Amino acid sequence: MGLLFKTLLFIRSAAGHALALLLPPQTCVSCGKESLYLPVCISCREEMKASLKEAIEATETRCKRCGRILISEKEICLECRESDTIACLDGVFPLYPYVLWKKKLLFLWKTEGLPSLSPFFASLVYEAWKTLYPGIPLVPVPPRPGKIFREGRDQIDELSRCMQGLYGLPVFKVLKRLSSRQQKKLSRAERLSRTEKRYALKPAFLLPTSFKASPPEAAVLVDDIITTGATLEICAELLKQAGIKRVYAITLFSC
């Protein structure tokens, strides 16, 4: 399975390179130089990896709750001091701040359907995972109902499959977002998690399906971006209710 996955990825990237040779020159979203390796050129990819390695070694410069880079605060950022959104999560590590051309990069991956970015993002997530949360299984944050039907793919699922196929990471797809019809079937008490009650969010759009064996001791949620942290927090709360003791999260970006 792993070999087949790697072969398919190789064919896809080789086809991408062949196609790039036929097209007019295109430029890297970061440095603006012409590159065959898109949307980020090789040297910018290397730079992203180097800055990530530095960030992984300097976790003390980040908020202990949400993982954002601290400016003049100590340990907990101002936002987290003012709100108690993050209570169940035991740690979050966003790889990069969501600024400048990183916005374009996420847009290209999510809406322009650039699956070639998934193995690249997986290599970055792997870098953080192997140092910060080694051996801990991943739990992808699930897409909204109907997303795969409408768009043909879910980027977080694609990223998780790369993590599993390329690096052999254990992935548990145990969370599910409920459709509005499913939500209506639940009683009000059932459909609101604690986080949702506190923040008057939409009724429970996530629900854990059971683990086949006993749940792991810890899990790492994977998502593209952390904004308020409420979605990750609901997921963490549900995983803890299912018996997982520690829940962390890695996101590509933080707002």
Please report, as ranges, the residues that interact with Zn ion according to CB under 5 A. Answer: 28, 30-31, 41, 44, 63, 65-66, 77, 80
Q: How far is the CB of 71 from Zn ion (least distance, A)?
A: 11
Q: How far is the CB of 109 from Zn ion (least distance, A)?
A: 16
Which of 158, 41, 49 shows the shortest CA–CA distance to 109? 158
Residue by residue, DSSP assigns 117-160 as: HHHHHHHHHHHHHHHHSTTPPEEEPPPPTTHHHHHS--HHHHHH
Q: How far is the CB of 195 from Zn ion (least distance, A)?
A: 16
Closer residue to Zn ion in complex, CB, 85/160: 85
Max Cα–Cα distance, the chain, nearest Å: 58
Taking the C-alpha atoms of residue 16 and residue 180, their distance in angstroms, rounded to an integer, is 39
Closer residue to Zn ion in complex, CB, 44/236: 44
**200: Cβ–Cβ under 8 A, 6 or more apart, which residues?**
none
Closer residue to Zn ion in complex, CB, 43/182: 43
Closer residue to Zn ion in complex, CB, 42/148: 42
Q: How far is the CB of 117 from Zn ion (least distance, A)?
A: 14
The total number of residues written for the chain in this structure: 255
Closer residue to Zn ion in complex, CB, 47/176: 47
Q: Which amino acid is at 148?
A: I
Q: How far is the CB of 177 from Zn ion (least distance, A)?
A: 25
Taking the C-alpha atoms of residue 162 and residue 157, their distance in angstroms, rounded to an integer, is 9
